[in-house]
């Protein structure tokens, strides 16, 4: 028999949700990096010409001097064109990268923003905790990932540089715009090449992070029992809850049961308390009806008040689903209820008649959830 403290059980959905609320969610830095670099490269590819044009203008303003420029030399003349040409494009790039990174992590965090992760924690500043992370399993995994990342990205950068060596060597010649264009295209192509490598690393890292979280959240047999008890409630708690429900149900039907002449039951699911008073109505009236705890309360009160309880399942369901409290029964049920009422009145006169056979019309028969059921037993 395994030790109850050994964590061998897969985490339940509740444990996963509780861990997520505390900030323990699936996340991958490698995926965030790959997304950020890809979005940045795509932005530079399609929006780069705007920034490139701005940089050309800034270079022209900053490197061109004439008599007027020397006489009107000021920081505003130099700084404002730079802000106008560069700041807005750079801000849009930063926003695009930030949004893409956040959404890539939210997708793994069950769409949940964990604000608690932003709260400073003393354990993160503890040197012993840092050494444990460095030299523990986590540290070895991160070191292996780092070596693999450097090797893969270094190889990609090497082959990229080999393919573009001739173009890079010609950057010192030609017009400024041509030089900027070649340099820009080279940077963009390098970023896309590195993005491919980062995506490969992310595809490897995400399953590793999922496995580590699964292992971290595993549960022991005792934890499984405790969670089940917390979710379902202890037997004592459930018994107390049922008692409270019964007391509430009794309080709701107690006044009505004082006037009841008889109760028709399912016998376990439904109870209907009825009375016939020709001065008030031409047909029997439903004083109280219920299912579950309320049905049990009606039967218990009937026993205390010496009210006859008769078991006619189909008739009990039919009255329950077709008649409200304080209303007379449906006309289609007059004959069935009348036979029961005659039997009850005979009992009160001291007679001992045989229990009547009650016939419920086919169209008035229901199953236990209220669906028409012509085949329901009487």
The model's pLDDT over 196-212, given as tens digits with 9 standing for 90+, comes to 888 888 888 888 888 88
Of residues 240 and 222, more confidently modeled:
222
Chosen domain end from 165, 199, 216: 216
- Residue 330 within any structural domain of the chain: yes
User: What is the rounded average pLDDT of the residues 322-338?
Assistant: 93
Domain co-membership, 250 together with 352:
yes
Number of domains in the chain: 2
Pick from 197, 151, 181: which is nearest to 37 by CA? 197
Q: Which of 82-91, 116-125, 185-194, 234-243 has the lowest mean pLDDT?
A: 116-125
Domain co-membership, 210 together with 249:
no
Confidence at 327, pLDDT banded by 50, 70, 90: very high
CA distances to 171, 173, 233, 291 from 179, in Å: 5, 7, 73, 84
Checking if the pLDDT of 228 tops 60, the result is yes
- Residue 14 within any structural domain of the chain: no
Domain co-membership, 324 together with 199:
no
Checking if the pLDDT of 93 tops 50, the result is yes
Of residues 91 and 134, more confidently modeled:
91
Q: What is the mean pLDDT of the chain?
A: 77
Domain co-membership, 195 together with 261:
no
Domain co-membership, 266 together with 308:
yes
CA distances to 76, 292, 321, 332 from 260, in Å: 95, 19, 19, 22
For residue 1, the model assigns a pLDDT of 42
Domain co-membership, 197 together with 100:
yes
User: What is the rounded average pLDDT of the residues 268-287?
Assistant: 90
Predicted model pTM: 0.43
Domain co-membership, 335 together with 193:
no
Domain co-membership, 196 together with 252:
no
Strand partners, 264: 272, 310
Domain co-membership, 197 together with 333:
no
Domain co-membership, 210 together with 336:
no
For residue 253, the model assigns a pLDDT of 80
* Full domain range(s) for residue 148: 25-216
For residue 340, the model assigns a pLDDT of 93
């Amino acid at each position: 028999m395994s030790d109850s403290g050994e964590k061998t059980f897969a985490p339940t959905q509740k444990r996963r949700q509780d861990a997520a609320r505390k900030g323990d969610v699936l996340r991958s830095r490698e995926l965030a990096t790959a997304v950020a670099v890809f979005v940045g490269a795509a932005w530079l590819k399609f929006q780069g010409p705007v920034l490139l044009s701005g940089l050309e203008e800034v270079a022209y303003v900053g490197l061109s001097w004439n008599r007027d420029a020397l006489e009107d030399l000021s920081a505003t003349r130099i700084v404002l064109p730079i802000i106008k040409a560069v700041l807005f494009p750079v801000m849009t790039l930063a926003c695009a990268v930030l949004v893409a990174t956040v959404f890539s992590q939210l997708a793994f965090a069950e769409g949940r923003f964990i604000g608690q992760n932003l709260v400073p924690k003393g354990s993160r500043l503890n040197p012993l905790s840092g050494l444990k992370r460095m030299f523990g399993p986590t540290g070895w995994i991160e070191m292996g990932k780092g070596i693999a990342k450097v090797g893969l990205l270094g190889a990609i950068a090497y082959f990229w540089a080999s393919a573009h060596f001739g173009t890079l060597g010609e950057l010192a010649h030609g017009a400024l715009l041509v030089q900027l264009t070649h340099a820009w295209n080279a940077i963009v192509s390098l970023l896309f090449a590195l993005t491919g490598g980062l995506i490969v690393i992310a595809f490897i890292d995400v399953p590793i992070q999922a496995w580590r979280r699964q292992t971290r959240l595993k549960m022991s047999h005792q934890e499984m029992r405790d969670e089940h008890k917390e979710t379902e409630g202890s037997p004592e708690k459930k018994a107390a809850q049922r008692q409270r429900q019964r007391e509430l149900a009794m309080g709701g039907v107690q006044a009505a049961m004082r006037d009841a002449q008889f109760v028709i039951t399912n016998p376990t699911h439904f109870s209907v308390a009825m009375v016939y008073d020709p001065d008030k109505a031409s047909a029997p009236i439903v004083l109280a009806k219920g299912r579950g705890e309320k049905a049990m309360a009606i039967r218990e009160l009937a026993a205390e008040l010496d009210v006859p309880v008769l078991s006619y399942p189909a008739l009990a369901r039919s009255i329950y689903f077709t008649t409200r409290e304080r209303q007379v029964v449906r006309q289609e049920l007059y004959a069935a209820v009348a036979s029961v009422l005659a039997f009850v009145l005979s009992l009160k006169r001291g007679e001992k008649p045989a229990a009547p056979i009650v016939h419920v019309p086919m169209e008035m028969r229901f199953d236990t959830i209220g669906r028409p059921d012509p085949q329901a037993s009487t």
